[in-house]
Amino acid sequence: MTVGDLVSQHFRTADVFERHGIDFCYNGKKTLEKVCADKSINWDELVAELEKASQVTERAGCHADAWDPGFLADYIVQVHHRYLYKNLPLVVEFTARISRVHSIRHPELKIVEKQVGLLAADLLEHMEKEERILFPYVKSLDLASRQHKAAPGMPFGSIQIPIGVMENEHDYAGSLLDSLRELTGDFTPPEDACVTYRAAFEKLKELDEDLRWHVHLENNILFPKTILLEKQLLQP
């Protein structure tokens, strides 16, 4: 079983993986055995933690593996894309402000400001491509399946092609967030941080957590479901 499969079955296992530095969204296809070996983690201890986490009350979207691809695509847009449209401008504004005021004592803030700008630009372009191209096709496949019709025309050959592009862009966003976590000490403000400084880091941390779940829903659930659905519809 992969890390992504485990998180799909119960979202609280994501907390366990986070504690151990195991990436469940961008590298969700790795097996539990593989990550234990890579991280030198005791198998029995990790399994015990995962079993305990699975008893915790669940959250919205935690049963997304049971949803139709079209519904899941709409959910991602309405919940996670809307979150980013609302919060990315705030994060960009806050990090720019604290960089101007505090970068003399904390020069890393100049890099934080630049990388947040890159992240915001990348995500906005990424979401536009999903909403204009990929997700409408996902929904058309889902509708064709429910109506027992043939697969709709494919302007890009196979859905695996745009999905591959989206996964690569997810990896890029993940690398920027990894760098931001390192630069900010896991989004921990220094003792001399002002209110805006603390708010900026809190928003960054919140965005990081939301985006990890967002990418998990796409990489580990929506994309595999859609690839399988397309293959089924194309069978003679």
The residue that leads in pLDDT, 11 or 125, is 125
Mean pLDDT of the chain: 88
Q: Are 32 and 2 in contact (CB under 8 A)?
A: yes
Q: How far apart are CA 30 and CA 33, in angstroms?
A: 8
Percent of the chain with pLDDT over 90: 58
Q: Which of 166, 151, 183, 148 is nearest to 222 (CA)?
A: 166
Tell me the CA end-to-end span of the chain in Å, nearest whole number.
31
DSSP notation for 93-158: HHHHHHHHHHTTT-THHHHHHHHHHHHHHHHHHHHHHIIIIIHHHHHHHHHHHHTT-PPPP-TTSS
Q: Are 3 and 38 in contact (CB under 8 A)?
A: no
The residue that leads in pLDDT, 226 or 9, is 226
pLDDT in tens, 184-197: 999 999 999 888 89
Range scoring the smallest mean pLDDT among 37-41, 123-127, 223-227: 37-41
Given a cut of 80, is residue 134 above it in pLDDT?
yes
Q: How far apart are CA 61 and CA 130, in angstroms?
A: 19
What average pLDDT score do residues 16-31 get?
78
148: Cβ contacts below 8 Å, ≥ 6 apart: none
Task: Determine the pLDDT at residue 61.
Answer: 57
Task: Determine the pLDDT at residue 11.
Answer: 64
Task: Determine the pLDDT at residue 5.
Answer: 79
What average pLDDT score do residues 201-217 get?
92
**What is the residue extent of each domain of the chain?**
3-53, 66-234
pLDDT in tens, 38-88: 888 888 888 888 888 776 555 555 678 889 999 999 999 999 999 999 999
